[in-house]
Structure 1
């Protein structure tokens, strides 16, 4: 419940907050569910999947006002020479989370978030590099910008899924409907997928041999997420039964919201022009019981063009970056 502050009450001050490590338990998950910036990919089960996949050790640092968790920064401590706090590979968001405001007064709401940013940022000096991707709900990043952080705009597409999925189909671009019909006419079809062999398919998606995430790590991720019941997978199969593309979708259920996230995909480049990928996405959009869909990223021109064809809403978010080590930042630039 919102409460009013009296005119003489002090503005929130970062000095009143105590920073402590947050345990990955039910209390944390309850905070995530209610928080500004909360997201399924910072739930304890997803952070444990990232850890088991070898992405790094989960780090959740909280700013507390007495025993009340006010805000938190989430990431993984990655392995390597550079001491880095980052959003885990293959997880779209972590970053900052804030409790719901206690005051109806917008200045006090901003003041508390600013104080929380300041408090938590001051505790990150032990990391050479911080790079965390915040949820789209975190729209005010002025405080870290004023402190010298870099904000990288990122984008994704969201689609609302009404009961009548013909409305979704009608919202597709004509080129997208055309390639879906082409794939169906050619005999491609969609079937449930298992995690076995996904790493090899993921590797083959990138002909230059340089996927953004190590293929073995991607395989471990999918295996762990499937074992935990966090995802469901589908493949588009050729008329001969060959796997043309596979996508694993993260599941979110709770309250009145049911959502699917296009989490990770792999595709055989020999079927690139078949329309199989578009067919797979359409069949999932057509049949899922979810009411919302997130394409999880549209930040490369070719990927954005493909996803735009499904008629979703373009949504922006921020990846926040800071180097605490100047010479390591310079070295990173030299390495490209």
Structure 2
């Protein structure tokens, strides 16, 4: 089998990268150069996309954000704020033999791993998207691993038969209050609701408004998602979900809620009507990206979702491990 060459992609090669993301499993919107560049620009990140080539053909790769910590540590991570996963992807094998497919996967991942280990990073953190199951080329070579979770709502099932009694009551409350839902792509409305939700907790939103403006522009330009809102009879938006289209699914990327209207069941109404809308458009499932937040898990379990694991791997040198331990110790003492 021919060897794999790994190198940083030039911006002129990003189109080729996006074609790989489109065809690869499990390539996602979060892997695309457009999404990565929004994070790079708005959050002032140093972005590199590394490609794996076989005989000149791009067959895999991984995007990374590089952070220099006070000139002492150099850390690479495949994720950033509100991008839960964007790790390695590989071209799907054409072979019908499981052993051959596994061999090709391991060859690409081993080459990528060896390349990353030579880049002088003190810490490397990769989070694979759901559906990427074989991380052994990393764990077999001393990398630590962790499991995370998301929820899938099966759109082929009858949503009403899967609702808990609490969710049913919330839907009745929303109906009695006259709440309605509709698609409405308005970044100012979304960011207002998001800010209200965080202000209630005395926190700032995790991303600046400019990030969401650029995401909305990308959504409209590429037709890759939509915002769904709950409104009062007077037309005031009180809850919103920002949904992104994936392969056979829609990803509920982020949600926002005016806390003053939470008791009206507006969030439950959003999920219920989104389910029906996406089902009518032949999507197979909804990816609800909040299974790692205990307070939200209690809510979403009322829709009987399936728990889906996804994985992360990390490699840290001694210097990074010591610095992390000192930081945690000082932070604890100051707390």
TM bracket (short chain): 0.7 to 0.9
Q: 8 Å contact 1:200–1:215 — kept in the other structure?
A: no
1:171 alignment partner in structure 2: 162
Secondary structure at the counterpart of residue 214 of structure 1: coil
1:126-141 alignment to 2 at 5 Å?
126-141=120-135
Secondary structure at the counterpart of residue 270 of structure 2: helix
- Segment drifting more, 278-287 vs 223-232: 223-232
Secondary structure at the counterpart of residue 196 of structure 1: helix
Q: CA distance change for structure 1 residues 28 and 146 in 2, over 3 Å: closer, same or farther?
A: same
The TM-score normalised by the length of structure 2 is 0.82
1:106-125 alignment to 2 at 5 Å?
106-124=98-116, 125=119
Q: CA distance change for structure 1 residues 154 and 180 in 2, over 3 Å: closer, same or farther?
A: same
What is the number of equivalent residue pairs in this alignment?
316
Q: CA distance change for structure 1 residues 22 and 37 in 2, over 3 Å: closer, same or farther?
A: farther
Secondary structure at the counterpart of residue 167 of structure 2: helix
Q: 8 Å contact 1:231–1:248 — kept in the other structure?
A: yes
Q: Report how far residue 305 of structure 1 moved.
A: 1.8
Q: Report how far residue 319 of structure 1 moved.
A: 2.4
Secondary structure at the counterpart of residue 135 of structure 1: coil
Q: CA distance change for structure 1 residues 235 and 102 in 2, over 3 Å: closer, same or farther?
A: closer
The TM-score normalised by the length of structure 1 is 0.82
Q: Report how far residue 158 of structure 1 moved.
A: 1.6
1:330 alignment partner in structure 2: 325
Query: Structure 1 stretches of 5 or more lacking a match?
Result: 1-11
1:1-336 alignment to 2 at 5 Å?
16-23=3-10, 24-54=13-43, 56-78=45-67, 81=70, 83-86=74-77, 87-124=79-116, 125-162=119-156, 167-193=158-184, 194-206=186-198, 207-210=200-203, 213-216=206-209, 218-228=211-221, 229-252=223-246, 258-288=248-278, 289-292=281-284, 293-324=286-317, 325-334=320-329, 335=331
Query: Structure 2 stretches of 5 or more lacking a match?
Result: none
1:6 alignment partner in structure 2: none
1:5 alignment partner in structure 2: none
Q: Which has a greater percent of helix?
A: 2
Secondary structure at the counterpart of residue 298 of structure 1: coil
Q: 8 Å contact 2:159–2:272 — kept in the other structure?
A: no
Q: 8 Å contact 1:53–1:224 — kept in the other structure?
A: no
Secondary structure at the counterpart of residue 309 of structure 1: helix
Q: Report how far residue 258 of structure 1 moved.
A: 4.4
Secondary structure at the counterpart of residue 159 of structure 1: strand
Q: Distance in 1 between matches of 2:142 and 2:205?
A: 27
Q: Distance in 2 between matches of 1:302 and 1:80?
A: 33
Secondary structure at the counterpart of residue 83 of structure 1: strand
Q: Distance in 1 between matches of 2:57 and 2:107?
A: 15
The one-character-per-residue Cα deviations of 1:301-320 (angstroms, maximum 9, x if unpaired) are 11112122222222111122
Q: 8 Å contact 2:167–2:303 — kept in the other structure?
A: yes
Q: 8 Å contact 1:155–1:299 — kept in the other structure?
A: yes
